[in-house]
Amino acid sequence: MEWFDSFWQVYSNLVLTVGINALLALSIWLTLSCGLLAMANAAFMGIGAYTAALLTMSLGAPFAVALAGGIAAPTVVALVIGGPTLRLSGVYLAMATLGFGEVVRVLILNAESLTGGALGLNGIPQLTQWWHVLLALVGTLLILWRMRRSRIGRAFEAIKEDAVAASLMGIGVMAHKMLAFALGAAIAGLAGALNAHLTFFIGPSEFGFDRGVDILTMAILGGTGGLTGPVLGALIITLLPELLRGFRDFRTMMNGAILVLIVLFLPKGLWDPQRVRQWLGPGRR
Measured from the CB atom, is 87 or 146 closer to other proteins?
A: 146
Looking at 171, 185, 193, 215, which residue binds other proteins (CB under 8 A)? 171
Interface residue with other proteins among 152, 239, 259, 276 (CB under 8 A) is 152
Give the residue from 45, 215, 60, 67 showing the smallest Cα distance to 132.
Answer: 67
Q: Which stretch binds other proteins (CB under 8 A): 50-58, 72-80, 166-174, 263-271?
A: 166-174
275 near other proteins, judged by CB under 8 A: no
| Contact criterion met (CB below 8 Å) for 107 and 51 | no
Residues in a beta bridge with 201: 122
**SS3 state at 202:** strand
Binding other proteins by CB under 8 A: which of 166, 186, 190, 231? 166
Do residues 25 and 222 lie in contact, with contact meaning Cβ atoms separated by under 8 Å? yes
Question: Quick one: 9 or 274, whose CB is closer to other proteins?
Answer: 274
Q: How far is the CB of 173 from other proteins (least distance, A)?
A: 7
Q: Where are the beta strands (DSSP E) in 203-278?
A: none
CA dist list (Å): 1 to 7, 11, 25, 164:
10, 15, 32, 57
Among 151, 243, 247, 277, binds other proteins (CB under 8 A): 151
Stretch of 9-17, 144-152, 213-221, 238-246 lying at the interface with other proteins (CB under 8 A): 144-152
- Residue 162 makes contact with other proteins by CB under 8 A: yes
Contact segment (CB under 8 A) with other proteins among 9-17, 46-54, 171-179, 183-191 equals: 171-179
Residue 254's contacts (CB-CB under 8 Å, 6 or more residues apart) are 244, 247
Binding status of residue 234 toward other proteins by CB under 8 A: no
Binding test (CB under 8 A) with other proteins, winner from 3, 84, 113, 170 = 170
State the nearest-atom distance from the C-beta of 122 to other proteins, in Å: 39
Q: 214-218: long-range contacts at Cβ-Cβ below 8 A with a sequence spacing of 24 or more?
A: 214/42, 215/21, 215/24, 215/25, 215/27, 215/28, 215/41, 215/42, 215/45, 215/188, 216/28, 216/39, 217/259, 218/21, 218/24, 218/25, 218/28
Round to whole Å and give the CA distance between 136 and 31.
19
Q: Are 174 and 181 in contact (CB under 8 A)?
A: no
Our CB check for other proteins shows the closer of 139 and 241 to be: 139
The yes or no reply on residue 149 touching other proteins (CB under 8 A) is yes
User: Which C-beta is closer to other proteins: that of 171 or that of 232?
Assistant: 171
Q: Is 242 in the site for other proteins (CB under 8 A)?
A: no
Residue of the chain from 102, 161, 210, 242 that contacts other proteins (CB under 8 A)? 161
CB of 31 to other proteins, least distance (A): 18
Concatenated DSSP letters of 44-56: HHHHHHHHHHHHH
For residues 271 and 232, is the Cβ–Cβ distance under 8 A? Answer: yes
Residues that bind other proteins (CB under 8 A): 143, 146-147, 149-152, 154-155, 157-158, 161-162, 164-173
